[in-house]
Amino acid sequence: MGIARILGFMLVVAGTFFLASAYRATGSLSERAMETFTGRYTERTQRELAIGAAGVVGGVLLIAFGGGKKRGRR
């Protein structure tokens, strides 16, 4: 397994952490009140959702395509 795939797994784990953290924050009283009045979540929660989603997508792409070409032995 190459270094790119290992980094991909690490990105997926970190992205999942951010998504879980942001998802839990959306259920808090202050977030629900903010969404009720403004129609959207706070900037911090939106940022964590975006970072988490980007991390998961980037990690999956690294896992899928990060290996590069395999060179055969001569």
In tens, the pLDDT along 30-63 reads 888 888 888 888 888 889 999 999 999 999 999 9
Q: How crowded is residue 54: how many other Cβ atoms within 10 Å of its Cβ?
A: 13
Residue type, 67: G
Q: Cα–Cα distance between 8 and 69 in angstroms, integer?
A: 17
The maximal CA–CA distance of the chain, rounded, in angstroms, is: 67
How much is the pLDDT for 69? Answer: 65
How much is the pLDDT for 73? Answer: 55
Q: Cα–Cα distance between 37 and 31 in angstroms, integer?
A: 10
Q: Is 59 helix (H, G, I), strand (E, B) or coil?
A: helix
pLDDT at 6 over 80: yes
How much is the pLDDT for 39? Answer: 83
pLDDT at 74 over 70: no
